[in-house]
Every structure is written in structure tokens, then in C-alpha cells.
Amino acid sequence: MAQKPSIPKGTRDFSPIEVAKRSYIMNVIKSQFQLFGFHPIETPSFENSDTLMGKYGEEGDRLIFKILNSGDYLNKVDEALYSSKNSTKITTKISEKALRYDLTVPFARYVVQHQNEIDFPFKRYQMQPVWRADRPQKGRFREFYQCDADVVGSTSLWQEVDFVKLYDSVFAKLKLEGVTIKINNRKILSGIAEVIGASDKLIDFTVALDKLDKIGEDGVKKEMLNKGISEAAIESVKPLFNFTGTTSEKLDKLRNMLASSEEGMQGVEELQFIINAFKEIPLETATLDLDVTLARGLNYYTGAIFEVSAPDTVKMGSIGGGGRYDDLTGIFGLKNISGVGISFGLDRIYLVLEELGLFPETVAPSTKALFINFGEEEAFYCLKTVNMLRNDNIIAELYPDNAKMKKQMGYANKRAIPYVVLAGSSEMNNNTFTVKDMQSGTQKEMDLKELKELLR
């Protein structure tokens, strides 16, 4: 017996209606990217391993899908290395390429390779799939699309302001109200680590803090202790675990906490600039919230960091995120190029819109009329008409087979096609068509002009 086919966990097939809904979201995002002055690029689905490894932290590196070398990939592994069973060292010998983990690092590589062709500041958007060897769960897949927009070559905080507005604009167009754009600054986190004497544990500190909403205060404390952060240091950041108040009140608390840290105070002032902008440029539907626990466990963020949360009524992880990176291209040899970017989580946005019933009814273009096939001569008469309708952007089809009428009508019913068009010898002689309304069951004979008007 043939084995039942399946697909890998964390991947999905998409039906025609699902593809249409995904395209709807992507078209909205793309239209706003273009409205804000971004230009499209594309990069390969896989990169050289050394392009990706070491750019996402230890946790991210573990989630990168490695691609085995072609041919006899074990011939470069000597017996001693093979016997050691050290998977990390063996991997470097048998895998030189990997599926991209995100779109930002490949974009940094693109900028460095094409720096002489680019006009800075360079604004690009990219909408392509990425892959992560993650544990599949609701809203988390191993293959998924990212929709990114980045600007490189400018340190201006007006870029951050523009990205907040871009987020707001996209979700307003999708009619998704109640979205929260969380914002923080890695300089603030560095400042906190500095004032508590844990600067050497900055990454461990930020990764643990970022998990507060998932594992709670006790879980974060336990993880920090396990990473070697002292109990005294953890006690001194206790106020962060319940950091409430208005945005202004939160900024004042941070100023008091970070008074002795120059870097921390710089982060506070950068946030103040961004937040002040929206006193004059109000957001349409989203809310901007300062979340001091927001860390995003990626090594390359150096300034503002963003994370977008779905409305409270939907249990879902982040549906977008990003931030400022001052030295990302430096790892590829291009120094002093600052960048900032954001990403939209297409798959999670899809689940949110589906749960809230926010997809338009007209999201999937559907066939307006099915022409019945009575035979070769009648089919040719109908097909000429189908082509004329298509020239007027009216979706019409000819049933391909000269099958029984019941089967053809049943096909129209199953696909919810509103009109069936019949043309036999009588209609062909009169240059007309008999049109059946599948909902009311009524029929009417009409010419081509009347048919076009009906189907429009």
C-alpha cells in the first residue's frame, strides 16, 4: 500500500481562498510600503552559512535550517571529528549554506555587495518566505512570510517616527483596530544593565527580560540567576517587572533610574523625541506604548525597538517587530551605515483577521458566469463570447467537457457561480444567450450587450 503523503510540521498548504486572503493582506502592506517611498528587492532563499550564523544570538543560531552539501558531504569529516560526535564542528564541514532566518541580515549583505549602486538613504521593502527550525504552535510556523521595510544610511529619528506611522497606516487599512505598537530602546536596557553592574551580562539580561509576558516575574528571575546575574542586581531591577503609568510617567521613572548612565539617558531622550512627534501627528487606530521589558533577543538592535501586539481580544504573539541597528553592515565590512526597519508577520495577521472576521467578502475574485458546453459548435460560439467578456475584465469560463447538464449545473452550484449561460442552435441563430440566475432560478434571453451589463 502506498504511504499516505504528508508535509513537514510547521508548514502548510494553502487553498484558493486562503491564497486570496493572504494576497489581500500583502497587497495592503505593499501599497503602504510604496506610499511611504519604499522600493522592492528580493534575495535568495538560502545564503552562505557564514552570512547568517552569529547574527541572531545563540538561540537564533539553533533555529537556522542548514543545507547539506551536495555529493559525498562526509568526505571532509576526518575519523577523529566524526567519532567526537560534535555536531557543531561537523556541521561546518558538511553544510556551507542555510535557509534564510529573516530578511534583515540578507538585506545587510545586499547593501554591502551593492553599495556602489545604491543611493543613500536607501529605502527598501521585501516580501518573501523565511524558515526557522522552531517548535510549531498556533501562529508559529517553520516556514512563513515576512514583509519588511528598512531604511539604511540615515541616523535621523524621523525614520522611527515614520515607521510607527507606517504600522498604524497598514493596520488602519486592514480595519484592524486595537493594535498596540510597543516601543523601547536598547540603550535603555544597556543603561539598566550598567547601573545594576551587569553590563557583561547584557544579552542574557535582555533575553530573560523579554520573556516576562511568557514566563512571568519568577521565571525571569530564575533565568537571570541561571545566567549568572546576581540576586542584588535582580532585586534592583524589580520595579521593571511592574512598570506602569502613562508614557510621560514611565519616562520620568527611567530618568531617575538611569541618571548615572549616559547611554541609558540617551535612550530615554530618543524615545521622548519619537513619542513627542505623535502629539502633533495622531495615530489613526493603533496605540503607542512604552514597554521597558521589550528587549527582542537579537544581537543587532542598538536603538529603538518595536513590537506590535494584536488586540487584547485575540490570543496571539507579536504580529510585527523591528528596530534600529547601527552596526549591522559593519559585520560585512561596511562601517558607519545606520539602519532601522520593521517587519509584518503575515501569517499571524491572517489568523487575527480571520478570528475577528475582518476579511472583505470580495477578497477572492470569483467567476461571474459559467457557459454550458453543448458540443463543439456551441462551445466555440460560447468561447468567443467568454474571450470578449474577459477583455472587459469580467471573469467567465466555458465548462471544458460536453458532460450531462446536471453535472455542469452542479459544478456551477458548488463553486457558487451566480449565472449560467446556455447557447444552443436557437440562441446561435439569434446571436443571443439564455442566462439563468442560479439564486432565483429565473431565466432570460439577452444579447451580448445586455449580458455584459448584467455581469458587470
Tell me the pLDDT tens digit for each residue of 370-407: 999 999 999 999 999 999 999 999 999 999 999 999 99
Q: Are the beta carbons of 64 and 51 closer than 8 angstroms?
A: no
| 3-state secondary structure (DSSP) of residue 449 | helix
Average pLDDT over residues 288-306: 84
User: Can you give the pLDDT at residue 299?
Assistant: 64
pLDDT tier for residue 297 given thresholds of 50, 70 and 90: low
Planar angle of CA 236, 240, 242, nearest 5 degrees: 125
Answer whether residue 349 shows pLDDT above 60.
yes
pLDDT band at 86 (very low <50, low <70, confident <90, very high): low
Reported as type and span, the H/E element at residue 205 is helix 202-209
As a whole number of angstroms, the distance between CA 115 and CA 110 comes to: 8
**CB proximity list for 214: less than 8 A, separation 6 or greater:** none
Q: Which three cell numbers stand for residue 376?
A: 463543439
- DSSP H or E stretch at residue 139: none
What is the per-residue pLDDT for 231? 84
Supply the DSSP symbol for 178.
Answer: S
What's the count of helices (H) and strands (E) in the chain, helices before strands?
18, 16
Residues in the chain: 456
Residue 249 CA: distances (Å) to CA of 243, 245, 308, 358 = 10, 6, 22, 35
The mean pLDDT of the chain is: 91
Residue 330: DSSP 8-state: G
- Tell me if residue 377 falls in helix, strand or coil: helix
What are the φ and ψ backbone dihedral angles of 238, each rounded to 5 degrees? -55, -35
Q: What are phi and psi of 30, to 5 degrees?
A: -60, -40
Query: What pLDDT is stored for residue 167 in this prediction?
Result: 98
Q: Is the peptide bond before 400 cis (omega within 30 degrees of 0)?
A: no
Say what the pTM is.
0.86
